Amino acid sequence: MNSVISKICRCKPTRETLMNNEPAEKSHAPQVQYDAPLDDALRPHVYDGDIQEYDKRLPNWWLWTLYGAIAFAFGYWSLFHHWHIADEPGTALDAEMKANALAAAADSGVLDDAQMWLMSRDPAVVAAGQSTFSSTCASCHNTDASGKIGPNLRDEVWIHGGSPHEIVSTITTGVAVKGMPTWGPVLGKKKINEVAAFILSLHKEGEPVIPAAQAAASPKTAQN
Ligand code: HEC
């Protein structure tokens, strides 16, 4: 068996001969491989006297993964960062979440104040609310909501509370004895939410809410 192997390997250094520190020059052909596939040539350099490297070709699947990643990165960069053809995934997600919140808000009557404030910053919702306001509310509250028969809705003074859910509630139930009609059955939840968003668009989140009784007591903040 040994003789067969030595016959086969006559012209090649075996792993053992290399491990035994036999200099590469000693072998018949310095560029040949030892008991390894014939297609991989040894590279010419030697480290630490006996460490040699195969000139291994990278496998195609690896190369194509690399080329694919480079092409993908270039496409991604062009699309999102250079030409801004599409929104970055984070921005797109935010926009979608906002749209979902607004769609849910517009269709349902159950909204929290944060969603109402969000709606009040959406130009499409505010525009829809403003058109309802002009046709339905302006006769008493004035087109710019500064007040006529009904009170000013632009200032910080509120009779029935100035938080989003209080405004929605006042519009929905009305104040019949004071001449503010009940809009719930007339307009429906969606339009009431929109018109409330329009009123909120005239305000800042977190601004003070001054109760009308208090305003009446102090002439500085007197309500019209
Ligand atoms: C017929 C006149 C009239 C119309 C039309 C009218 N309102 Fe009023 N509104 C009033 C009056 C009067 C009050 C004051 C109620 C009170 O003193 O309690 C009022 C109060 C309010 C308040 C509460 C203000 C506060 O300071 O708390 C809101 C909000 C409001 N109206 C929104 C609307 C919206 C929105 C519409 C249209 C959908 C509308 N109103 C249509 C007469 C009207």
Ligand 1 cavity residues, CB under 6 Å: 136-137, 139-141, 149-151, 153, 158-160, 167, 170-171, 175, 178-181, 183, 195
Q: How far apart, in Å, do the first and last CA atoms of the chain sit?
A: 113
The stretch 111-140 carries a mean pLDDT of 91
Where do we find the tokens 């480290």? 47
CA of 209 to the centre of ligand 1 (A): 17
Is 211's pLDDT higher than 70? yes
Instruction: Look up the pTM and report it.
Output: 0.61
Other C-beta atoms closer than 10 Å to the C-beta of 32 total 15
Is 103's pLDDT higher than 50? yes
Give tens-digit pLDDT for 32-82.
555 555 667 888 899 999 898 888 888 999 999 999 999 999 999 999 889
* Atom 8 in ligand 1: residue holding the nearest Cα: 180
* Atom 2 in ligand 1: residue holding the nearest Cα: 140
Domains in the chain with CATH codes: 2-54 (no CATH), 61-86 (no CATH), 90-221 (1.10.760.10)
Where do we find the tokens 């062009």? 78
Tell me the C-alpha distance between 182 and 190, whole Å.
15
Q: How confident is the model at residue 99 (pLDDT cuts 50, 70, 90)?
A: confident
Tell me the C-alpha distance between 168 and 108, whole Å.
12
Per the CB < 8 A criterion, the answer to whether 200 and 116 are in contact is: yes
Give tens-digit pLDDT for 137-191.
999 999 999 999 999 999 999 999 999 999 999 999 999 999 999 999 999 988 9
Identify the pLDDT of residue 223.
46
